Structure 1
Amino acid sequence: MSFLETTPLLDPESVLRKSTDSSSISSIQPGDTLHRTIEDDVLPETTPLGRNITWSSAYIIIISRVIGSGIFATPGAIVTSVGSIGLSLTLWIAGALISWCGLAVGLEYGCMLPRSGGSKVYLEFTYRHPRFLASVLVSVHALVLGFTSSNCIVFGEYVLFALGKVPAEHPTEMRILAVGLMTVITVIHGCFLKTGIFLQNVLGWVKIGLVLFMTIASLGVVIAGYRPENGNLGFPTTWEGLWEGSVWNWGIISTALFKVFYSYSGLENVNNVLNEVKNPVRTLKSAAPTALVTACLLYFVVNVAYFLIVPLDEIKKGGEMVAALFFQRIFGPTTGNILLPLAVATSAAGNVMVVTFALSRLNQEIARQGVIPFGRILSSSKPFGAPLGGLIIHWIPSVIVICVPKQGIYSFILEVEGYPGQFFVLATSLGIIWLRKTRPDLKRPYKAFLPAVWFRVVLSLALLAAPFVPWASESWRDHLSRVSYALVGISVLLFGILYWFVLAVCLPWLGGYRLEEGADVLSDGTIITMLLRVPVEDVN
């Protein structure tokens, strides 16, 4: 990491307080070192990228992030693990209610601290001691596990399916398609900002239309009394049949919930880009709940559509290709195997676009914090007025994960992304409760329902403990293999703690200095934080 040489801290009005007024930014010259305090984080902040995101764009950023590969790929994996249609549908509804608890926390934080960065800003504001620990943990988690690989994989699988190939038999071609998608989207968002926003808006509406089309098609089949030549319709006709084969094991249900949560993840996606949203508080309060209701309704009806048309045993065998099986049974080999799978691939591409858009901004916020190497370069919006550095450090881990030759990589990605994220879910939930008691002075345009926040705390603890509860007659080797996703997630967080210890404790102790935060303005107007090495004798 490149730190400034020993530099005295100046104490004029905070640079971030000035940054709320565009005229004051012009008075700050590149290279100026100014004092920065944590209280500045409660203020809105302008950005060189400008406020280009309207309510409709914010809604699409959320809903297009939420509806991605999840609804087209995970229902098969979920019903395979839990065993029955009834339990599977119950988990989708429960996932929506639990997601509302999480959304309430995100809304209170986002309206209270209306700036880009999402959970990074919230945890830094809430957990100020040990100093820099929250910043480093969020940064390491975002940079190591903030990849966009699962939807790229689904894109590659469905394109191959449309070409008449079995994805499992052509893993190299699938990975080439996935990497190509990730690369093209990175170039679009990095070089053509407004074009990228326009494309992701269009793909978002296409995605919603596709889900509605699938639902209408399945209902039309049922009403017409159509029976496919290769079997009966799949939905059971009795209450007992609906629950037949249910697996009531918390370890299994918890991993299924991680997949459901993944399908609902992204409700706080616009929190990462609030600096670019017009009327951020008002937009956030309405766009996010609207997106949750939309996603819940669409998810439920499309699951019912799958179960109406495709028999349960075929869904379990098909795994991630459940949507392709659905299209094949309704529309036949030509349309079902080519056109509509391509539509699903397009939907997955739209999800990759909005995730890449939001996470690149989060990566830029991380770079601006000054806790990672090359922060000055990665923070810049040059040369195309977009966070190209943030896009590149998002592209690298995404491509690495895509290229990992692991069987069942899709499910593993969902689990390894979901497990460590629960630590931050727990931290932000407890943070809301803590701030209610310690900071009643803060303006809260939205207040979360506290029982819902406490429920989220309890559920997070249960999900974090679930992988380590052994199953009956399970060997220790099988147990370690089953919980590998949890071990990977914990290892990433432990690495973050080690990185923080070296950066903020060991090096300052060995060098006889302490770290202080200053602020600088890059030539493109981006405000960054610098970690300054101040000799201990100067501090005393």
Structure 2
Amino acid sequence: MASFTAKEVAAHSTRDDCWTIINGKVYDVTKYIEDHPGGADVLIEVAGKDSTVEFDNAGHSEDAFEIMEEYLIGTYSGAPVRGAPKAVTLKKTVPKAVAGSNFTSTALTATAAISVGAVALQAYRLNPEMLNSLPKLKTSSSGPGFLEGFLIASALFTVAGTITAKKLSKHLHFEEGGFMSYAPHKKMPKVTKVNPLIQRGWLDPTTYHALPLTEKELIAPNVYRLVFSLPTPTTVLGLPTGQHLAIKAEIDGKIVNRSYTPISNNNDLGRLELVIKCYPDGLLTGKYLANLSLGDEVSFRGPKGAMRYKNGLCKRIGMLAGGTGITPMFQIIRAICEDDRDLTQVSLIYANRSEQDILLRDELETFARRYPQNFRLYYVVEKAPENWAYGTGYTTQELMEEKFPAPGAESKIMLSAMADRKEPQAFDGLRHNDISDERPDNGSTIDAQNFAYSEDRKIGITGAVFLILNKMIGTGIFSTPSSIFAATGSVGISLMLWVIGGFLTFCGLSVFLEFGLAIPRSGGEKNYLERVYRRPRYLATCVLASQMILLGFSSGNSLAFGRYILFASGRETPDGWEARGIAVTCVTFAVLMHSVTPKWGIRLFNVLGVFKVVILLFIVFSGFAALAGHRRVPNPHNFDNAFRIEDGDGYGGGGAYAYSNALLNIIYSYKGWENANYVVSELKHPKKTLAIAAPIAIGGVTILYVLANVAYFAAIPKSDLAKSEVIVAGLFFRNIFGESAAARSLPAFVALSNLGNVLAVSFAHARLNQELAKEGMLPFSRFWASNKPFNAPASALFLHWIVTVIVLLAPPAGPAYNFIVNLYTYPGSWINGFVTAGLIYLHYKKSENWSSPWHTYLPISIIYLLANIFLALVPFIPPDGDWNADGYPYYVFPVVGVGVLILGGVYWSFWTKILPRIGGYKVVADRTFDDSGVETVRYRKVPIKRD
């Protein structure tokens, strides 16, 4: 065989004289150009060149080599000499022993039990009469009063809620989101039966055999449905799912063969059905198949192909198909849907030039209706008709990320090799990522970073519960009851506001669960706002980034930590620099722990989560004792005419402004219920974990919060409670246990609770900061996104530390705590309002094709939306009397909060419009995932085309 040099091959580089090199062999493909399924341009582009890489990337089946043999003319003299491949040795993986202790759920339960026992024993030693007197609680002679009814209702609510949740959990099924959903066909995955799709049949893998054409139908321009009869009505085709067959014919004196995937399978006895596009100038399709008449025989051979689909291949498949490339996808979709044992979830994006070009539409939509738990369908067309409910234009990376399953070991993406010579424009998103309005070129990569977390670093259900608990149970329940009562002047209304806060928290949880289970990625509101508010691109994200970075601090709980440490030591400085210094030490410890030893950071906040629950339980039981008369102060009689609104010493008379402030403070106390949504990528089985952990944590916290407030009112007089500010729990312990050392040490335990909150907040908010940096949205994004050197987001944690310390040290000496709380909480009302409005929009805009395994009913969404509108607008209404609140004008925190959100819009304009035009380029972050879930972020410097 002749040998050719690169120079000789390069001399044949035109359409009429086209040579190419593939795997060290030289081919003259001049006569194959017009019949190439990928189009003539593909071959002309590689004419005179080595096209080995392009050939391999095109994903040809093995019959491509049969076709190419006909055009082989020699070898390439410059081909590298390749040595024999090295043998692959499989090694058994030995699990590494984990040094040190590992806090499992069992260990945490044991820790909780021991802690509760220890606290109960200490309480009994300090005041043995306290527990002995619990059965002697007095009731009103006229019958049950407010307190008795409240406690009974709480108990009944707890029992009923537990039973309801247990019943509902049996029917809860977690699915990927983003597609239309219907009532599902019930499957029986445990039924044992023979799979007919894998049995052998008529096809012969080595010899061609002929079948007669019995049906021929034109179903679209140049697209035919061809049906061939097998030898008998009961003959099985014998084609495994995922494989294809070859057709051979003699045309103009030459043998031509091509591979096709039938849409029929082994269940279709006695028939073979194909859908093929026949190009007018195609050799096999245009000259042969298009001109077949009924009764003509065609030769087939098979099965062929390396892939065989079988149940259990993976849990989730994302499919991208265009034109007649739908046929191999259809074969797999049909096999999955019709097999009652197969629970694989398939998400298909099907791209075409127009609605009329969509093939097998009735069949696909039937599968989508009958098997929503298996199959979700989304169309993209280049030319959309009026009232088109699906996608138009490009299949972008953003669309694929939205519709396809999240990357992971149990997910696969399948791309159809289309028979069309020129794929539809809607499919161009695979090569042209429409990342900016200027449509820049690809640019050059300036950096790349990998992000991967080992399974032992990921958080299970127990860890997720404590991640939420640690953020929820922080300063709020030990401090804010003072400001709540001071604002309302009523014991009953204060308690009802805490119940309303719990209800609103569950409403918010429902909204966030629907988003979180549909979009299981770290980032929380970032992902939800980006899903709804897509234009202008990045505007919603920049507004959120401004709020989360500038106001997502741990200052309130850090300051409370310092205050309680000073109180425990006998110092009662209300808001001095000593408390702020201790607060800085607290947040510095938390950031260093998560940066240097991330495993131990998680373990520590798990332990502190148990500790917090123990402390709250101790307060509740101490409150019961106080109700029985065991306290060191006279009976405050706070439950006499509990719903009376009073205007006393330091409490009452605030009007609507005070009530909105009170509700804001309560929401601050409940804040943290969304904490797990920020770290979904670091959860084990994220959908299941999130759906179980969040309701458990929030339900438990709501009951404890209400009962803890009952305890406070049982032991603290109204005027003392109103003036106690941050140290409500400290005053409670003093009134119960007196001036003993134990009474002074208990506030130190509350300080540890605050430390747990700082650990949880810094852990979650650093992940959100890192997500924003990965998108290239922050200045010096590569630095803030980095996981170096300990595979932890140390840089993002450092950013969180900077903002927290500034907020701690910047306000002047004085009552800074309430200002920090309001400033931290207020902008969240705007963000949550937009998230909730977005969910309502997705429910009622059918073209969005929104789907989630969790459904939030419209009344819940409306209630939560109205509550956030109330919290966002009422702080602008002047309070009755003095316009100053805690030493600053009432309008300061709402104006500053809204200003921060507006600043996000200003930054968006600067980052997306002004800066790129000044510099002539922009840095773009491309995020990709491999099969093992490892994320790679590449930063590209992309030139901007100027007008």
CA distance in 1, matches of 2:745, 2:594: 27
Partners of 2:736 and 2:886 lie apart in 1 by 40
Instruction: Name the counterpart of 1:464.
Output: 872
- 1:499 equivalent to 2:886? Answer no
1:431 deviates by 1.0
Partner of 1:418: 825
Q: Which has the higher helix share?
A: 1
- What is the rounded CA distance, in whole Å, between the counterparts of 1:462 and 1:187 in structure 2? 39
What secondary structure, in the 3-state scheme, does the structure 2 residue paired with 1:398 have?
A: helix
Unaligned runs of 5+ in 1: 1-11, 14-19, 22-34
How far residue 37 of structure 1 moved from its aligned partner, in angstroms, is: 2.4
Could you say if the C-alpha distance between residues 432 and 173 of structure 1 is closer, same or farther in structure 2, counting changes exceeding 3 Å? same
Q: 1:44 aligns to what? A: 406
Tell me how far apart the structure 1 counterparts of residues 879 and 918 of structure 2 sit (CA, whole Å).
48
Alignment of 1:109-508 (within 5 A): 109-168=515-574, 171-223=576-628, 225-228=629-632, 230-239=633-642, 242-245=644-647, 247=653, 249-404=655-810, 405-436=812-843, 437-438=845-846, 441-472=849-880, 481-508=889-916
Contact 2:926 2:939 in 1 (8 A): yes
In structure 2, relative to structure 1, the CA distance for the partners of 1:336 and 1:486 (3 Å cut) is farther
Deviates further, 245-254 or 208-217: 245-254
Kindly tell me: are residues 175 and 476 of structure 1, through their superposed partners in 2, closer, same or farther at Cα, counting changes over 3 Å? closer
The answer on whether the counterparts of 1:45 and 1:275 sit within 8 Å (CA) in structure 2 is no
Distance 1:270 1:473, change over 3 A: closer
**Amino acid corresponding to residue 452 of structure 1 in structure 2:** I
CA distance in 2, matches of 1:341, 1:478: 24
Q: In the superposition, relative to structure 1, how do residues 515 and 360 fare at CA in structure 2: closer, same or farther (>3 Å)?
A: closer
- Higher mean alpha-carbon deviation, 188-197 vs 122-131, is at 122-131
Q: Which moved more, 1:470-479 or 1:99-108?
A: 470-479
Structure 1 pair 513/159, CA: closer, same or farther in 2 (3 Å)?
closer
Whether the aligned pair in 1 keeps the contact of 2:529 and 2:540 (CA below 8 Å) is yes
Q: Counterparts of 1:475 and 1:115 in 2: how far apart (Å)?
A: 44
1:528 aligned to which of 937, 941, 944: 937
**Contact 1:38–1:125, Cα closer than 8 Å, also in 2:** no
TM normalised by structure 1 equals 0.87
Tell me how far 1:507 sits from its aligned partner: 3.2
CA distance 1:478–1:71, shift in 2 (3 Å): closer
Measured after TM superposition, the shift of residue 505 of structure 1 is 2.0
Q: CA deviation at 1:510?
A: 5.1
- Return closer, same or farther for 1:529/1:479 CA change in 2, 3 Å cut-off: farther
- Higher RCO, 1 or 2 (CA under 8 Å, sep at least 6)? 1
Structure-2 separation of matches of 1:344 and 1:68: 8
Q: Distance in 2 between matches of 1:409 and 1:476?
A: 14
Q: Structure 1, residues 298-334: CA drift from partner, whole Å, max 9, x if none? A: 0000000000011111111212111001001111212
Q: Aligned partners of 2:761 and 2:585: how far apart in 1?
A: 16
- How far apart are the structure 1 equivalents of 2:594 and 2:884? 46
- What SS does the aligned partner of 1:161 have? helix
- Secondary structure of the 2:926 match is strand
User: Counterpart of 2:672 in structure 1: which amino acid?
Assistant: G
Deviates more, 1:500-509 or 1:139-148: 500-509
Q: Please report the RMSD computed on the Cα atoms of aligned residues, expressed in angstroms.
A: 2.7
- Aligned residue for 2:239? none
SS, match of residue 167 in structure 1: coil
Residue 271 of structure 1: CA displacement?
Answer: 0.4
Q: Residue 435 of structure 1: CA displacement?
A: 1.7
CA distance, structure 2, for counterparts of residue 197 and residue 476 of structure 1:
41
Report how far residue 441 of structure 1 moved: 3.2
Distance in 2 of aligned mates of 1:534 and 1:259: 48
In the alignment, the residues of structure 1 paired with residue 721 and residue 888 of structure 2 have an alpha-carbon distance, to the nearest angstrom, of: 28
- Opposite residue 49 of structure 1, the aligned amino acid is Y
**Alpha-carbon separation, structure 2, partners of 1:175 and 1:303:** 27
Equivalents in 2 of 1:58, 1:476: separation in Å? Answer: 41
**C-alpha contact 2:884 2:890 (8 A) present in aligned 1:** no
Match of 1:81 among 482, 487, 494: 487
CA contact (8 A) 1:513 1:534 kept: yes
1:509–1:466 Cα change, 3 Å: same
Q: Return the offset for 1:151.
A: 0.7
Letter in 2 for 1:388: A
User: What amino acid is aligned across from residue 805 of structure 2 in structure 1?
Assistant: V
Q: Secondary structure at the match of 1:79?
A: helix
Opposite residue 235 of structure 1, the aligned amino acid is N
The letter of the residue matching 1:499 is Y
C-alpha deviation, 1:286, in angstroms? 1.6
Indicate the SS of the match to 2:535.
coil
Q: Note closer, same or farther for the CA distance 1:41–1:272 as it changes in structure 2 (3 Å cut).
A: farther
Q: Letter of the aligned partner of 2:825 in structure 1?
A: G
How many pairs does the alignment contain? 503
Is the Cα–Cα contact under 8 Å of residues 370 and 529 in structure 1 kept in the other structure? no
CA drift at 1:377: 1.9
Q: Match of 1:6?
A: none
1:290 match: secondary structure:
helix
Q: Give the gaps of 5 or more residues in structure 2.
A: 1-56, 59-314, 317-395, 409-450
8 Å contact kept, 2:521–2:679: yes
| Contact preservation (8 Å) 2:453, 2:682 | yes
Q: Contact 1:49–1:386 (CA<8 Å) still a contact in 2?
A: no
The sequence identity of aligned pairs, in percent, is 35
* Residue type of the alignment partner of 1:60: F
Quote the Cα distance in structure 2 between the aligned partners of 1:483 and 1:45: 46
Q: Distance in 1 between matches of 2:497 and 2:884?
A: 29
Deviations 1:151-206 (A, max 9, x none): 111110010011111122x7121111110011111111100011111110000000
**1:231 positional shift:** 2.9
Q: 1:506 to 1:438 in 2, by over 3 A?
A: farther
- Cα deviation, residue 463, structure 1: 1.9
Q: Does 1:54 align with 2:54?
A: no
Corresponding letter in the other structure for 1:518:
D
Give the secondary-structure state (helix, strand or coil) at the position aligned to 2:505.
helix
Deviation by residue 1:59-114 (Cα, 9 ceiling, x = unmatched): 11011111111000000111111112111111101111111111111000000000
Secondary structure of the corresponding residue to residue 528 of structure 1 = strand
Shift of 1:236: 2.7
Aligned to 1:8: none
The structure with the larger Rg is 2
Counterparts in 2 of 1:336 and 1:129: CA distance versus 1, 3 Å:
same
